[in-house]
Chains A and B, each alone.
Chain A
Amino acid sequence: MKNPLNKRIPRMLTGNAGKMVAVLLFLVLSISLASGFLVAEHSLRIGYDNTFEEYNIEDGHFELLKEMSDPLAEVLKKEKLSIFTLFNKDLEIKENRVLRIYPVREEINRIALLEGAMPETDEEIVLERLFAGNNGYEVGSNVKLGAKAFWVSGIVAFSDYSSLFKNNADGLFDNIRFGIAGVNQKAFDVLEYNDLHYTYAWKNHDPDLTPEEKNDFADKILDIVKEHDLIKDFVRRADNQAICFAGEDFGNDRVFMMVFFYITIVIIAFLYVVVMRSTIELEAKSIGSLRALGYTNGELICHYSLLPLLVTLMGALIGNVLGYTLMKDAFIYIYTKSYSLIPAPVLWNAEAFVLTTLVPVLIILLIIYGFLPALLSLPIQKFLHNDLSRRKQKYAIHLGKLSFFTRFRLRIIFQNASAYLVLLVGILLGSLLMSAGLMLPPLLENHQQEVLDNQICAYQYILRMPVETADEQAEKFAVQSLELGEGTVQVLGIEDGSKFLPVASQGLQTGEAIFSNGLTSKYEIEKGEQLVLSKKYTDDTYSFELGDTVYYPAGFTIFISLDDFRTIFDCDDTYFTGYFTDHKLDDLEDIFVASIRTEGDLTFALDQLMDSMGQVFKVMAVFSVILFFVLIYVLSKQVVERNQQSIAMLKILGYENSEINNLYHVTTGLTVIFSFLISIPACKFILKIIFKQIMTKYIGWFDFYVAPWVYPAVVVSGLVSYLIIYVMQSKRTKGIYTAEFLKEME
């Protein structure tokens, strides 16, 4: 015979509908977010990894000053590689919008058609999805390339441009002002252009080379190419940001996401405990009778854990369904808003199932089964006497000469201490989440402003080779990127008495290095300490001693004198790599300029970061408001239910509803305010620690900054949630009927 007690599960569910629906919603939201995130990340990762083989992505490419010479072609033919022509033309199609156009490729770096058709006639063009979307192009639109008009026949993704980096040296991709397009060979040949790139891609014959072997082989190719022709650019696949940046970004938020997910699950488990404890207290006499009749603890534990278990399983099921559909799409949307990815099928992810379903269910069960046996193992007579306290002798805490209402409220707090403790932890977590969601946009804006206020100059020219300018205002500098762990540090050699850098104008001493503040903060370097950096793909290391620190938020930089730079990097006495200037240099030919960094580039990078991360910040803020609401709702409801008889008794005695609200709901309100008073300073402290931890893993550095309105906004959101619940609970209190209470007393 099945346990007849379980027949009441549907009634328990409907009886606790408000609380259970709130917990279920919260659970569904948490699981679907975590599951959607993991499924999206996993599917995109697998899809991304597969594109290398499926779309035959290059092992590297180089750009020559003109077409490849026959001798070079002959030498390369003898190597174990295949060479593919990837000529492309850059064309400004309207102000500040550059399109890089390729003939449609069939063999290497193949193109994925997302919509429409590949170009067949000379008037057809396919556009990369992000650029097209950001600039209002769709299938059927017209694009004018120079004097010729093209009809957009399709929207595509280029397998070698998952991130739209115009130049590999750029700090961040740009999918608004820079795009890729494909036309047929005939149309390409006659196309006007601003820049023609003689680019050649190579593919190793041996696909099983180790990264080190691939790198050595690339070095060999570089030597061969340099020996025969003039080279403009040389990029190994592993260094190609357009190919690899997206892959490196997948899953960067995973640890952060999962930590918050599990904290949420623990809070949900404690919510169950509070709800179950209250149910058991209400049914203490029935439980005593059942135990007296012979029901075992095990049977009762099974029975009382069934409802939370069912709700959890239901939450896990709905959460996973939403995770695999809506949420997965939402996260894929977030990723594909930044990256030009080739659509990947949704893959069943066993790890996501374990992490977002099995582990949370186990955590909840562990907490429930840790709590229930302890409570249900109390002696039967304790249940029969409706006394579930563990203490043998219960003494009331002496509250002195406080007013009656104050004492009453304090007693409510003592009685509901466990519920209020869960509320405090929940408010702390919600405040953390909301603060994090709200603080990041102003933090980035603040950083952006600081970068602008402290920029070296209006134009930073990076040259392909040292070329003199007649402009006397321009100031030479040299730069070298070195590796530090997984990050990059720019070593900047500046002229003595530089007018662009205040640190330099004070005159750098020989052998002295000045570090940017982010570098000393992140790596905790003290004055006089040595920092050892290495050169990529070589065994060369360089040591710099910290002489002083300068506030320079634009990036990790070490400033040394230009002379020191030339000595350290073994360059000749006239070596330099670029110019600082406050206006454009007109006498430099484009061919010698690798890139120009302007104020717009500095702000654009951060704008783009905001654009791609903005959705995540919003999700965090909304999630935390829901967390506040669910917690305050479930726990305040709990307090009312637990005290239903007392409230009815107060009504019988003649208390008015406002006085009862004043006792019960205001007490919860005071606890909410008290929780915020504790949470905000704790939140500041924890955020600072978490932020520093995140920054140590992040490739760059942002100074910790919380806009003055962030914490007040968190408190106001929490209090508004409480006020809504106050109104709901006041109605509930009003609806408690004294007649029912009297009947129960009979």
Chain B
Amino acid sequence: MLLEVKNISKSFHIGTHTIDVLKNISFQVERGKICTLLGPSGSGKSTLLNIIGGIEIPDRGSFYFDGIEISGHSEKTLGCYRRKRLGYVFQSYNLIPNLTLKENIESGAYLSDKPLDVNDLLYTLGLWDRQDQLPSQLSGGEQQRTAIGRAVIKNPDLLLCDEPTGALDYKTSREILALLEKVNQKYECTIMIVTHNEAIQRMADQIIRLHDGAIRSNENNTNKQKAAEIAW
């Protein structure tokens, strides 16, 4: 078991109002699997991903990574956890504008004791020919592939993807999903994908549905499809 989440709750206070974003969430994710977190906007899926990523602290509950409790640790420990064990991909790429594509990926390699080979990864990502371009010279799909490369180069145990295809067109979205699948297979890293796209669940091993801050369902996907076969 790579990840175990136990009774996590989280609230936000806006003025005099309190909004319960996550209510008593518990689930487990096995190593090497692809897990999707599905739900409509405001269901709490990004907050949950941020808690697992050590970016936010839960009000209650705990989670275990590789058997070690992570929640409740100091910012320094959480930083070390993110640095050594996690990869992160966002909807809006967030590349560094004045680093080239390759240098952006290297900025991830720098953090790891056992980074993957940059050139090999550039081939895998299909970005070899574009490696010296700046982000502003890349298409959205290329930028997202670079962002995935930056996260994967660290050779992380867990890759967290927050709406990775949210800003992309249909064709590019499918390419990105195929890439994530390839990364999962080639580098054996566990992937958690937050999405509101119902179709993406079909490529996952595990599907967790959130609604209004609570888990509505948590099931293994017995009809798992290849990314290339998914259409919506």
In the complex, the answer to whether A381 meets B82 with C-beta atoms within 8 Å is no
- Smallest CB-CB separation from A1: which chain B residue? B110
Is A348 an interface residue, CB under 8 A from the partner?
Answer: no
Partner of B98, one of A8, A289, A291: A8
Minimum distance in angstroms from B71 CB to a CB of chain A: 16
Of the listed stretches A75-83, A280-288, A701-709, chain B binds A280-288
Is B106 an interface residue, CB under 8 A from the partner?
Answer: yes
Interface residues of B in 149-195 (CB under 8 A from A): 150-151, 154, 167
- Smallest CB-CB separation from A3: which chain B residue? B110
* Per-residue A-contact encoding for B139-157, CB less than 8 Å = 1, 0 else: 0100000010011001000
Is A292 an interface residue, CB under 8 A from the partner?
Answer: yes
A311: B residues at CB distance < 8 A = none
- Smallest CB-CB separation from A377: which chain B residue? B75
| A425 to B98 alpha-carbon distance, docked (Å) | 33
Of the listed stretches A169-177, A293-301, A339-347, A444-452, chain B binds A293-301
Is A248 an interface residue, CB under 8 A from the partner?
Answer: no
Minimum distance in angstroms from A181 CB to a CB of chain B: 68
Partner of B83, one of A11, A293, A393: A293
Is A4 an interface residue, CB under 8 A from the partner?
Answer: yes
Known A-B contacts A293-B82, A293-B87, A296-B79; the reply to A11 vs B107 at CB < 8 A is no
| A23 to B215 alpha-carbon distance, docked (Å) | 56
B97: A residues at CB distance < 8 A = 283, 286
Of the listed stretches B20-28, B49-57, B218-226, chain A binds B49-57
Minimum distance in angstroms from B81 CB to a CB of chain A: 8
A11: B residues at CB distance < 8 A = 98-99
B167: A residues at CB distance < 8 A = 746
Partner of A7, one of B82, B90, B99: B99
| A294 to B113 alpha-carbon distance, docked (Å) | 13
Known A-B contacts A4-B109, A292-B53, A380-B55; the reply to A12 vs B98 at CB < 8 A is yes
Minimum distance in angstroms from A310 CB to a CB of chain B: 15
Is A396 an interface residue, CB under 8 A from the partner?
Answer: no
In the complex, the answer to whether B94 meets A294 with C-beta atoms within 8 Å is no
Is A5 an interface residue, CB under 8 A from the partner?
Answer: yes
* Per-residue B-contact encoding for A703-746, CB less than 8 Å = 1, 0 else: 00000000000000000000000000000000000001001001
A740: B residues at CB distance < 8 A = 136
Is B92 an interface residue, CB under 8 A from the partner?
Answer: yes
| A746 to B144 alpha-carbon distance, docked (Å) | 13
In the complex, the answer to whether B55 meets A289 with C-beta atoms within 8 Å is no
Is A384 an interface residue, CB under 8 A from the partner?
Answer: yes
Is B84 an interface residue, CB under 8 A from the partner?
Answer: yes
In the complex, the answer to whether B96 meets A294 with C-beta atoms within 8 Å is no
A12: B residues at CB distance < 8 A = 98
| A584 to B223 alpha-carbon distance, docked (Å) | 123
Is A146 an interface residue, CB under 8 A from the partner?
Answer: no
* Per-residue A-contact encoding for B97-113, CB less than 8 Å = 1, 0 else: 11100010011111100
In the complex, the answer to whether B55 meets A292 with C-beta atoms within 8 Å is yes
Is B8 an interface residue, CB under 8 A from the partner?
Answer: no
Known A-B contacts A293-B88, A294-B86; the reply to A288 vs B15 at CB < 8 A is no
| A15 to B97 alpha-carbon distance, docked (Å) | 11
| A143 to B167 alpha-carbon distance, docked (Å) | 90
Is B35 an interface residue, CB under 8 A from the partner?
Answer: no
In the complex, the answer to whether B109 meets A1 with C-beta atoms within 8 Å is yes
| A2 to B107 alpha-carbon distance, docked (Å) | 10
Main secondary structure of the interface of A (DSSP, over half): helix
Is B203 an interface residue, CB under 8 A from the partner?
Answer: no
Minimum distance in angstroms from A322 CB to a CB of chain B: 31
* Per-residue B-contact encoding for A624-650, CB less than 8 Å = 1, 0 else: 000000000000000000000000000
Known A-B contacts A289-B88, A293-B87, A294-B83; the reply to A5 vs B109 at CB < 8 A is no
| A381 to B154 alpha-carbon distance, docked (Å) | 22
In the complex, the answer to whether B94 meets A286 with C-beta atoms within 8 Å is yes
Is B34 an interface residue, CB under 8 A from the partner?
Answer: no
Minimum distance in angstroms from B180 CB to a CB of chain A: 17
In the complex, the answer to whether B99 meets A293 with C-beta atoms within 8 Å is no
A1: B residues at CB distance < 8 A = 109-110
In the complex, the answer to whether A8 meets B50 with C-beta atoms within 8 Å is no
B94: A residues at CB distance < 8 A = 285-286, 288-289, 384
Is B127 an interface residue, CB under 8 A from the partner?
Answer: no
Minimum distance in angstroms from A472 CB to a CB of chain B: 91
B109: A residues at CB distance < 8 A = 1, 4
* Per-residue A-contact encoding for B105-127, CB less than 8 Å = 1, 0 else: 01111110000000000000000
- Smallest CB-CB separation from B105: which chain A residue? A4
Interface residues of A in 257-303 (CB under 8 A from B): 283, 285-286, 288-296
Minimum distance in angstroms from B162 CB to a CB of chain A: 9
Minimum distance in angstroms from B41 CB to a CB of chain A: 15
| A266 to B150 alpha-carbon distance, docked (Å) | 39
In the complex, the answer to whether B87 meets A381 with C-beta atoms within 8 Å is no
- Smallest CB-CB separation from A380: which chain B residue? B55
| A418 to B53 alpha-carbon distance, docked (Å) | 34
| A224 to B23 alpha-carbon distance, docked (Å) | 108
Minimum distance in angstroms from A373 CB to a CB of chain B: 13
In the complex, the answer to whether A286 meets B79 with C-beta atoms within 8 Å is no
- Smallest CB-CB separation from B160: which chain A residue? A292
In the complex, the answer to whether A4 meets B92 with C-beta atoms within 8 Å is no
Is B95 an interface residue, CB under 8 A from the partner?
Answer: yes
Minimum distance in angstroms from B169 CB to a CB of chain A: 10
- Smallest CB-CB separation from B134: which chain A residue? A11
In the complex, the answer to whether A295 meets B99 with C-beta atoms within 8 Å is no
In the complex, the answer to whether A4 meets B106 with C-beta atoms within 8 Å is yes
- Smallest CB-CB separation from A296: which chain B residue? B79
B107: A residues at CB distance < 8 A = 4-5, 290, 293
B90: A residues at CB distance < 8 A = 285, 289, 292, 384
- Smallest CB-CB separation from A392: which chain B residue? B13
Minimum distance in angstroms from A716 CB to a CB of chain B: 40
| A381 to B51 alpha-carbon distance, docked (Å) | 11
A288: B residues at CB distance < 8 A = 94
| A289 to B146 alpha-carbon distance, docked (Å) | 13
| A11 to B92 alpha-carbon distance, docked (Å) | 23
Interface residues of B in 49-86 (CB under 8 A from A): 50, 53, 55-56, 79-80, 82-84, 86
* Per-residue B-contact encoding for A391-417, CB less than 8 Å = 1, 0 else: 001000000000000000000000000
| A12 to B84 alpha-carbon distance, docked (Å) | 28
Known A-B contacts A293-B88, A381-B56; the reply to A4 vs B98 at CB < 8 A is no
| A283 to B97 alpha-carbon distance, docked (Å) | 8
Partner of B99, one of A8, A379, A384: A8
Could you list 24 examples of A-B contacts with CB < 8 Å?
A3-B110, A4-B103, A4-B106, A5-B99, A5-B107, A5-B110, A8-B96, A11-B98, A11-B99, A12-B98, A290-B107, A292-B53, A292-B55, A293-B88, A293-B108, A293-B151, A294-B83, A294-B86, A295-B111, A296-B79, A296-B83, A379-B55, A384-B90, A740-B136
| Shortest Cβ-Cβ A-B pairs, 4 listed | A294-B83, A289-B94, A4-B106, A11-B98
List 18 other contacts, CB 8 Å, given A8-B103, A294-B80, A295-B111.
A1-B109, A3-B110, A4-B107, A4-B110, A7-B99, A11-B99, A15-B98, A283-B97, A289-B88, A289-B147, A292-B82, A292-B86, A294-B84, A296-B79, A380-B55, A381-B56, A393-B14, A746-B140
